[in-house]
Amino acid sequence: MMRSKLNKLFNAIGIFKHPSSSQSHGFASNVRYERSSMVTPEPCEQKVITPNAEETYEEWLSDHPSALNSFEELMNTAKGKKIVMFLDYDGTLSPIVNDPELAFMSDAMRAALREVAGCFPTAIISGRSRDKVHGFVKLDEVYYAGSHGMDIMAPPRKHKSGDYNYQPPVAVEKDNSVIFQPAQEFLPEIEKIYDELEKATKELKGVTVEHNRFCISVHYRRAEEKVHSDVKKTVKEVLKKHARFHATTGKMVWEVRPSIKWNKGNALEYLLDTLSLAESSDVLPFYIGDDRTDEDAFEVLQKRGQGFPILVSQNPKETKASHSLRDPSEVLTFLLRLAKWRKNSA
Ligand SMILES: O=P(O)(O)OC[C@H]1O[C@H](O[C@H]2O[C@H](CO)[C@@H](O)[C@H](O)[C@H]2O)[C@H](O)[C@@H](O)[C@@H]1O
Protein backbone atom coordinates (compact mmCIF):
# COMPACT_ATOMS: atom_id res chain seq x y z
CA MET A 1 0.00 0.00 0.00
CA MET A 2 2.62 2.43 1.17
CA ARG A 3 4.96 1.18 -1.57
CA SER A 4 2.43 1.63 -4.32
CA LYS A 5 1.66 5.15 -3.08
CA LEU A 6 5.37 5.93 -3.21
CA ASN A 7 5.76 4.44 -6.67
CA LYS A 8 2.87 6.55 -7.94
CA LEU A 9 4.54 9.63 -6.52
CA PHE A 10 7.88 8.72 -8.08
CA ASN A 11 6.29 8.05 -11.44
CA ALA A 12 4.34 11.27 -11.29
CA ILE A 13 7.45 13.35 -10.78
CA GLY A 14 9.38 11.40 -13.36
CA ILE A 15 12.15 10.15 -11.15
CA PHE A 16 13.16 6.77 -9.98
CA LYS A 17 12.35 4.48 -12.81
CA HIS A 18 13.37 1.18 -11.35
CA PRO A 19 14.48 -1.17 -14.08
CA SER A 20 13.89 -4.85 -13.98
CA SER A 21 17.20 -5.97 -12.62
CA SER A 22 20.06 -6.71 -14.86
CA GLN A 23 19.65 -10.35 -15.74
CA SER A 24 16.90 -12.85 -15.56
CA HIS A 25 16.10 -14.28 -12.19
CA GLY A 26 15.56 -17.52 -10.43
CA PHE A 27 17.96 -20.31 -10.05
CA ALA A 28 19.44 -21.21 -13.38
CA SER A 29 19.93 -24.92 -13.60
CA ASN A 30 21.64 -24.04 -16.88
CA VAL A 31 23.64 -21.05 -17.82
CA ARG A 32 21.53 -19.80 -20.71
CA TYR A 33 22.44 -17.20 -23.26
CA GLU A 34 20.34 -14.11 -23.57
CA ARG A 35 19.73 -11.98 -26.61
CA SER A 36 22.05 -9.05 -26.48
CA SER A 37 20.30 -5.84 -25.56
CA MET A 38 21.05 -2.52 -24.03
CA VAL A 39 18.95 -1.86 -21.01
CA THR A 40 17.10 1.38 -21.25
CA PRO A 41 17.37 3.08 -17.86
CA GLU A 42 19.15 6.39 -17.92
CA PRO A 43 22.71 6.30 -16.70
CA CYS A 44 22.10 8.02 -13.44
CA GLU A 45 21.79 7.05 -9.82
CA GLN A 46 18.43 6.33 -8.29
CA LYS A 47 18.13 9.69 -6.63
CA VAL A 48 14.90 10.63 -4.99
CA ILE A 49 14.32 14.32 -4.53
CA THR A 50 11.26 15.31 -2.60
CA PRO A 51 10.39 18.41 -0.63
CA ASN A 52 10.29 16.29 2.50
CA ALA A 53 12.82 13.55 1.91
CA GLU A 54 13.17 12.54 5.55
CA GLU A 55 9.46 11.96 5.95
CA THR A 56 9.38 9.87 2.78
CA TYR A 57 12.30 7.82 4.04
CA GLU A 58 10.41 7.24 7.27
CA GLU A 59 7.43 6.00 5.29
CA TRP A 60 9.66 3.75 3.22
CA LEU A 61 11.19 2.40 6.42
CA SER A 62 7.83 1.07 7.49
CA ASP A 63 7.95 -1.24 4.45
CA HIS A 64 11.68 -1.97 4.74
CA PRO A 65 12.47 -1.75 8.44
CA SER A 66 15.96 -1.12 9.65
CA ALA A 67 17.77 -4.42 10.21
CA LEU A 68 19.30 -2.82 13.30
CA ASN A 69 15.99 -1.79 14.83
CA SER A 70 14.54 -5.20 13.97
CA PHE A 71 17.60 -7.10 15.15
CA GLU A 72 15.87 -9.01 17.95
CA GLU A 73 13.06 -10.02 15.65
CA LEU A 74 15.48 -11.25 12.97
CA MET A 75 17.45 -13.20 15.51
CA ASN A 76 14.35 -14.89 16.85
CA THR A 77 13.93 -16.35 13.38
CA ALA A 78 17.58 -17.35 13.37
CA LYS A 79 17.40 -19.64 16.39
CA GLY A 80 18.44 -23.16 15.40
CA LYS A 81 19.10 -22.07 11.82
CA LYS A 82 22.32 -22.10 9.84
CA ILE A 83 23.12 -18.52 9.01
CA VAL A 84 25.03 -17.81 5.81
CA MET A 85 26.17 -14.25 5.18
CA PHE A 86 26.38 -12.79 1.69
CA LEU A 87 27.65 -9.27 1.12
CA ASP A 88 28.20 -6.92 -1.75
CA TYR A 89 31.40 -4.83 -1.68
CA ASP A 90 31.11 -1.26 -3.03
CA GLY A 91 28.57 0.83 -1.15
CA THR A 92 28.09 -1.98 1.37
CA LEU A 93 31.45 -2.82 2.92
CA SER A 94 33.14 0.32 1.64
CA PRO A 95 31.66 3.76 1.10
CA ILE A 96 31.11 5.02 -2.44
CA VAL A 97 34.06 7.23 -3.37
CA ASN A 98 34.99 9.14 -6.52
CA ASP A 99 37.96 7.01 -7.49
CA PRO A 100 37.09 3.28 -7.77
CA GLU A 101 40.73 2.40 -7.13
CA LEU A 102 40.51 4.01 -3.71
CA ALA A 103 37.41 2.25 -2.39
CA PHE A 104 39.17 0.86 0.64
CA MET A 105 37.50 -0.97 3.44
CA SER A 106 38.14 0.31 6.96
CA ASP A 107 40.13 -1.78 9.41
CA ALA A 108 37.08 -1.82 11.67
CA MET A 109 34.96 -3.29 8.87
CA ARG A 110 37.66 -5.88 8.14
CA ALA A 111 37.77 -6.89 11.80
CA ALA A 112 33.96 -7.19 11.94
CA LEU A 113 33.89 -9.24 8.76
CA ARG A 114 36.57 -11.53 10.15
CA GLU A 115 34.47 -12.03 13.27
CA VAL A 116 31.37 -12.84 11.22
CA ALA A 117 33.30 -15.19 8.93
CA GLY A 118 34.50 -16.99 12.06
CA CYS A 119 30.87 -17.61 13.04
CA PHE A 120 29.10 -18.29 9.73
CA PRO A 121 30.03 -19.11 6.14
CA THR A 122 30.54 -15.68 4.58
CA ALA A 123 30.82 -14.70 0.93
CA ILE A 124 31.30 -11.45 -0.93
CA ILE A 125 29.59 -11.20 -4.30
CA SER A 126 30.89 -8.18 -6.19
CA GLY A 127 30.86 -6.59 -9.61
CA ARG A 128 34.64 -6.15 -9.27
CA SER A 129 37.12 -8.75 -10.37
CA ARG A 130 37.59 -11.43 -7.75
CA ASP A 131 41.26 -10.59 -7.29
CA LYS A 132 40.55 -6.91 -6.83
CA VAL A 133 37.89 -7.42 -4.21
CA HIS A 134 40.15 -9.88 -2.40
CA GLY A 135 42.88 -7.22 -2.56
CA PHE A 136 40.57 -4.76 -0.79
CA VAL A 137 39.18 -7.19 1.77
CA LYS A 138 42.36 -9.18 2.45
CA LEU A 139 40.63 -12.01 4.30
CA ASP A 140 41.14 -15.64 3.38
CA GLU A 141 38.30 -16.91 5.52
CA VAL A 142 35.73 -15.37 3.16
CA TYR A 143 34.48 -16.81 -0.16
CA TYR A 144 34.67 -14.48 -3.13
CA ALA A 145 32.54 -14.21 -6.23
CA GLY A 146 33.74 -11.51 -8.63
CA SER A 147 32.39 -10.14 -11.94
CA HIS A 148 28.79 -10.15 -10.66
CA GLY A 149 29.05 -13.81 -9.74
CA MET A 150 30.73 -14.98 -12.96
CA ASP A 151 33.96 -15.83 -11.17
CA ILE A 152 33.40 -17.84 -8.02
CA MET A 153 35.94 -19.28 -5.64
CA ALA A 154 33.81 -21.77 -3.80
CA PRO A 155 34.36 -23.98 -0.77
CA PRO A 156 36.42 -27.10 -1.39
CA ARG A 157 33.44 -29.23 -2.24
CA LYS A 158 32.24 -29.65 -5.76
CA HIS A 159 28.59 -28.98 -6.50
CA LYS A 160 26.44 -32.06 -6.85
CA SER A 161 26.75 -33.38 -10.36
CA GLY A 162 23.54 -33.09 -12.32
CA ASP A 163 22.45 -29.90 -10.60
CA TYR A 164 23.95 -27.78 -13.33
CA ASN A 165 23.60 -28.84 -16.94
CA TYR A 166 26.23 -26.37 -17.85
CA GLN A 167 29.74 -27.24 -16.82
CA PRO A 168 32.38 -24.56 -16.94
CA PRO A 169 35.15 -25.22 -19.47
CA VAL A 170 37.56 -25.41 -16.58
CA ALA A 171 36.68 -26.15 -12.99
CA VAL A 172 40.01 -26.30 -11.29
CA GLU A 173 40.92 -26.98 -7.76
CA LYS A 174 43.12 -24.19 -6.49
CA ASP A 175 44.25 -23.84 -2.91
CA ASN A 176 41.71 -26.52 -2.12
CA SER A 177 38.87 -24.44 -3.55
CA VAL A 178 36.80 -24.78 -6.69
CA ILE A 179 36.76 -22.06 -9.27
CA PHE A 180 33.53 -21.71 -11.22
CA GLN A 181 33.60 -19.44 -14.25
CA PRO A 182 30.54 -19.80 -16.46
CA ALA A 183 31.63 -17.03 -18.86
CA GLN A 184 35.11 -18.26 -19.65
CA GLU A 185 34.55 -18.52 -23.38
CA PHE A 186 33.89 -14.76 -23.50
CA LEU A 187 37.34 -13.80 -22.23
CA PRO A 188 39.01 -13.11 -25.61
CA GLU A 189 36.12 -10.88 -26.67
CA ILE A 190 36.14 -9.08 -23.32
CA GLU A 191 39.78 -8.13 -23.95
CA LYS A 192 38.79 -6.66 -27.32
CA ILE A 193 35.88 -4.72 -25.83
CA TYR A 194 38.12 -3.38 -23.09
CA ASP A 195 40.62 -2.06 -25.65
CA GLU A 196 37.84 -0.56 -27.74
CA LEU A 197 36.24 1.14 -24.75
CA GLU A 198 39.59 2.52 -23.58
CA LYS A 199 40.20 3.98 -27.02
CA ALA A 200 36.68 5.29 -27.49
CA THR A 201 36.55 7.03 -24.10
CA LYS A 202 40.06 8.50 -24.26
CA GLU A 203 38.78 11.97 -25.09
CA LEU A 204 35.97 11.88 -22.52
CA LYS A 205 37.33 13.79 -19.54
CA GLY A 206 36.71 12.13 -16.20
CA VAL A 207 35.66 8.81 -17.74
CA THR A 208 37.60 5.69 -16.80
CA VAL A 209 37.36 2.06 -17.83
CA GLU A 210 37.82 -0.67 -15.23
CA HIS A 211 38.59 -4.26 -16.20
CA ASN A 212 36.62 -6.59 -13.96
CA ARG A 213 37.77 -9.75 -15.71
CA PHE A 214 34.41 -11.07 -16.96
CA CYS A 215 32.84 -7.64 -17.23
CA ILE A 216 33.96 -4.08 -17.75
CA SER A 217 32.90 -0.93 -15.93
CA VAL A 218 32.82 2.44 -17.64
CA HIS A 219 32.83 5.03 -14.85
CA TYR A 220 31.60 8.60 -15.27
CA ARG A 221 31.34 9.78 -11.64
CA ARG A 222 34.24 12.16 -12.21
CA ALA A 223 32.97 13.42 -15.56
CA GLU A 224 30.94 16.60 -16.04
CA GLU A 225 27.25 16.07 -16.50
CA LYS A 226 27.32 17.18 -20.12
CA VAL A 227 29.59 14.17 -20.84
CA HIS A 228 27.19 11.58 -19.41
CA SER A 229 25.16 11.13 -22.56
CA ASP A 230 28.37 10.76 -24.61
CA VAL A 231 29.37 7.90 -22.33
CA LYS A 232 26.11 6.13 -23.00
CA LYS A 233 26.47 6.69 -26.76
CA THR A 234 30.05 5.42 -26.73
CA VAL A 235 29.15 2.25 -24.84
CA LYS A 236 26.24 1.64 -27.20
CA GLU A 237 28.43 2.18 -30.23
CA VAL A 238 31.11 -0.26 -29.05
CA LEU A 239 28.48 -2.87 -28.19
CA LYS A 240 27.05 -2.77 -31.71
CA LYS A 241 30.03 -4.90 -32.75
CA HIS A 242 29.57 -7.34 -29.88
CA ALA A 243 26.18 -8.98 -30.08
CA ARG A 244 26.87 -11.43 -27.24
CA PHE A 245 27.27 -8.59 -24.72
CA HIS A 246 25.03 -5.99 -23.15
CA ALA A 247 25.36 -3.15 -20.65
CA THR A 248 23.54 -2.38 -17.45
CA THR A 249 23.67 0.69 -15.25
CA GLY A 250 24.94 0.97 -11.74
CA LYS A 251 25.99 3.94 -9.64
CA MET A 252 27.46 6.37 -12.21
CA VAL A 253 28.76 3.41 -14.16
CA TRP A 254 27.92 1.38 -17.24
CA GLU A 255 28.68 -2.28 -16.73
CA VAL A 256 29.36 -4.27 -19.90
CA ARG A 257 28.84 -7.99 -19.46
CA PRO A 258 28.34 -11.22 -21.39
CA SER A 259 24.69 -11.95 -22.11
CA ILE A 260 24.44 -15.13 -20.12
CA LYS A 261 21.78 -15.92 -17.64
CA TRP A 262 24.01 -15.78 -14.64
CA ASN A 263 23.90 -13.08 -11.98
CA LYS A 264 24.49 -12.47 -8.30
CA GLY A 265 21.38 -14.49 -7.48
CA ASN A 266 22.74 -17.53 -9.29
CA ALA A 267 26.06 -17.07 -7.52
CA LEU A 268 24.26 -17.05 -4.17
CA GLU A 269 22.47 -20.31 -5.02
CA TYR A 270 25.68 -21.85 -6.31
CA LEU A 271 27.51 -21.03 -3.10
CA LEU A 272 24.67 -22.38 -0.97
CA ASP A 273 24.87 -25.55 -3.00
CA THR A 274 28.60 -25.95 -2.56
CA LEU A 275 28.03 -25.50 1.16
CA SER A 276 25.45 -28.33 0.94
CA LEU A 277 22.82 -25.91 2.15
CA ALA A 278 20.79 -25.26 -1.01
CA GLU A 279 18.14 -27.83 -0.11
CA SER A 280 18.25 -27.28 3.61
CA SER A 281 15.06 -26.01 5.22
CA ASP A 282 16.95 -24.63 8.18
CA VAL A 283 19.38 -22.40 6.33
CA LEU A 284 19.02 -18.67 6.91
CA PRO A 285 20.87 -16.61 4.31
CA PHE A 286 21.38 -12.87 4.72
CA TYR A 287 22.30 -10.80 1.67
CA ILE A 288 23.34 -7.19 2.17
CA GLY A 289 23.80 -4.99 -0.90
CA ASP A 290 23.21 -1.48 -2.19
CA ASP A 291 22.89 -1.64 -5.96
CA ARG A 292 20.63 -2.80 -8.76
CA THR A 293 22.60 -5.97 -9.42
CA ASP A 294 22.00 -6.99 -5.80
CA GLU A 295 18.28 -7.12 -6.53
CA ASP A 296 18.86 -10.44 -8.35
CA ALA A 297 20.12 -11.94 -5.11
CA PHE A 298 17.31 -10.31 -3.12
CA GLU A 299 14.83 -11.92 -5.46
CA VAL A 300 16.36 -15.37 -4.99
CA LEU A 301 15.92 -15.06 -1.22
CA GLN A 302 12.41 -13.73 -1.68
CA LYS A 303 11.52 -16.70 -3.91
CA ARG A 304 13.10 -19.18 -1.53
CA GLY A 305 11.10 -17.63 1.27
CA GLN A 306 14.22 -17.96 3.35
CA GLY A 307 16.52 -15.43 4.93
CA PHE A 308 16.74 -11.68 4.82
CA PRO A 309 17.59 -9.49 1.85
CA ILE A 310 18.84 -6.15 3.19
CA LEU A 311 19.22 -3.02 1.05
CA VAL A 312 21.81 -0.41 1.98
CA SER A 313 20.27 2.92 1.13
CA GLN A 314 19.69 6.37 2.56
CA ASN A 315 16.89 7.01 0.08
CA PRO A 316 13.60 5.32 -0.58
CA LYS A 317 14.10 2.90 -3.45
CA GLU A 318 11.95 0.26 -4.98
CA THR A 319 13.52 -3.00 -3.91
CA LYS A 320 12.92 -6.66 -3.29
CA ALA A 321 14.74 -6.35 0.02
CA SER A 322 12.73 -6.90 3.16
CA HIS A 323 14.96 -4.80 5.41
CA SER A 324 17.34 -1.90 5.14
CA LEU A 325 20.47 -0.33 6.54
CA ARG A 326 21.39 3.27 5.88
CA ASP A 327 25.06 3.04 4.95
CA PRO A 328 28.26 1.00 5.43
CA SER A 329 28.61 2.27 9.00
CA GLU A 330 25.26 0.64 9.83
CA VAL A 331 26.44 -2.50 8.01
CA LEU A 332 29.44 -2.51 10.35
CA THR A 333 27.22 -2.21 13.43
CA PHE A 334 24.98 -4.97 12.12
CA LEU A 335 27.92 -7.34 11.51
CA LEU A 336 29.30 -6.70 14.99
CA ARG A 337 25.94 -7.35 16.61
CA LEU A 338 25.53 -10.53 14.61
CA ALA A 339 28.92 -11.87 15.70
CA LYS A 340 28.16 -10.92 19.32
CA TRP A 341 24.74 -12.59 19.13
CA ARG A 342 26.39 -15.77 17.87
CA LYS A 343 28.97 -15.79 20.66
CA ASN A 344 26.32 -15.18 23.32
CA SER A 345 24.02 -17.85 21.98
CA ALA A 346 26.75 -20.48 21.52
O1 LIG B 1 28.86 -5.22 -6.89
P2 LIG B 1 29.70 -4.15 -6.29
O3 LIG B 1 30.79 -4.70 -5.42
O4 LIG B 1 28.89 -3.11 -5.58
O5 LIG B 1 30.40 -3.43 -7.54
C6 LIG B 1 29.66 -2.57 -8.39
C7 LIG B 1 30.61 -1.56 -8.99
O8 LIG B 1 31.28 -0.98 -7.87
C9 LIG B 1 32.37 -0.09 -8.13
O10 LIG B 1 31.85 1.12 -8.62
C11 LIG B 1 31.09 1.83 -7.66
O12 LIG B 1 31.92 2.18 -6.54
C13 LIG B 1 33.01 3.06 -6.84
C14 LIG B 1 33.86 3.25 -5.58
O15 LIG B 1 33.11 3.71 -4.52
C16 LIG B 1 32.46 4.40 -7.39
O17 LIG B 1 33.52 5.28 -7.72
C18 LIG B 1 31.60 4.11 -8.62
O19 LIG B 1 31.00 5.30 -9.09
C20 LIG B 1 30.52 3.07 -8.31
O21 LIG B 1 29.81 2.71 -9.48
C22 LIG B 1 33.35 -0.73 -9.09
O23 LIG B 1 34.37 0.21 -9.39
C24 LIG B 1 32.67 -1.22 -10.35
O25 LIG B 1 33.59 -1.85 -11.20
C26 LIG B 1 31.61 -2.24 -9.92
O27 LIG B 1 30.96 -2.73 -11.06
pLDDT band at 53 (very low <50, low <70, confident <90, very high): low
Instruction: Please state, for a pLDDT cut of 70, what percent of the chain lies above it.
Output: 78
Q: Would you say residue 43 lies in a domain?
A: no
- Verify that 248 and 332 share a domain, yes or no: no
- When divided into structural domains, the chain yields a total of 2
Residue where one domain finishes, among candidates 226, 258, 290: 258
Parent domain of 203:
185-258
Residue 282 CA to ligand 1 centre (angstroms): 33
Distance (Å, rounded) from C-alpha 136 to C-alpha 38? Answer: 30
Distance (Å, rounded) from C-alpha 119 to C-alpha 96? Answer: 27
- Verify that 243 and 268 share a domain, yes or no: no
Per residue in 66-98, pLDDT tens?
999 999 999 999 988 999 999 999 999 999 999
pLDDT band at 254 (very low <50, low <70, confident <90, very high): very high
- Which CATH number characterizes residue 214's domain? 3.30.70.1020
Q: Would you say residue 1 lies in a domain?
A: no
Q: Which residues line ligand 1 (CB under 6 A)?
A: 88-91, 96-98, 100, 103, 126-128, 210, 212, 217, 219, 221, 250-253, 255, 291, 293
- Verify that 91 and 175 share a domain, yes or no: yes
- Verify that 176 and 269 share a domain, yes or no: yes
Q: Where are the beta strands (DSSP E) in 196-313?
A: 208-211, 216-219, 245-249, 253-258, 283-289, 308-312
Please give the average per-residue pLDDT across 165-170, as a whole number. Answer: 33
Are the CB atoms for 150 and 129 separated by under 8 Å? no
Residue where one domain finishes, among candidates 258, 274, 293: 258
Q: Would you say residue 22 lies in a domain?
A: no
Using the atom order of ligand 1, give the atom closest to the CA of residue 217.
Answer: 25
- Verify that 151 and 222 share a domain, yes or no: no
- Which CATH number characterizes residue 315's domain? 3.40.50.1000
Q: Would you say residue 140 lies in a domain?
A: yes
Distance (Å, rounded) from C-alpha 40 to C-alpha 215? Answer: 19
* Torsion 229-91-268-284 (CA) sign: negative
Bigger pLDDT: 38 vs 190: 190
Distance (Å, rounded) from C-alpha 302 to C-alpha 282? Answer: 15
- Verify that 87 and 228 share a domain, yes or no: no
- Verify that 207 and 75 share a domain, yes or no: no
Structure pTM? 0.84
Residue where one domain finishes, among candidates 207, 232, 258: 258
User: What pLDDT does residue 176 have?
Assistant: 60
Q: Would you say residue 233 lies in a domain?
A: yes
Q: Going by C-beta distance under 8 Å and a sequence separation of 6 or more, which residues neighbour residue 142?
A: 113, 117, 122, 123, 124
Which of 90, 287, 298 has most ligand 1 atoms within 8 Å of CB, for mutation?
90
Element (H, E) at 233: helix 225-239
- Verify that 189 and 207 share a domain, yes or no: yes
Q: Indicate whether 213 pLDDT > 50.
A: yes
- Verify that 244 and 194 share a domain, yes or no: yes
- Verify that 108 and 173 share a domain, yes or no: yes
Residue 56 CA to ligand 1 centre (angstroms): 27
Task: Write down the mean pLDDT value for the chain.
Answer: 83
Residue 230 CA to ligand 1 centre (angstroms): 20
Instruction: Please state, for a pLDDT cut of 90, what percent of the chain lies above it.
Output: 71
Residue 254 CA to ligand 1 centre (angstroms): 10
Q: Indicate whether 30 pLDDT > 80.
A: no
User: What pLDDT does residue 99 have?
Assistant: 98
ipTM of the complex: 0.99
- Verify that 173 and 301 share a domain, yes or no: yes
- Verify that 285 and 152 share a domain, yes or no: yes
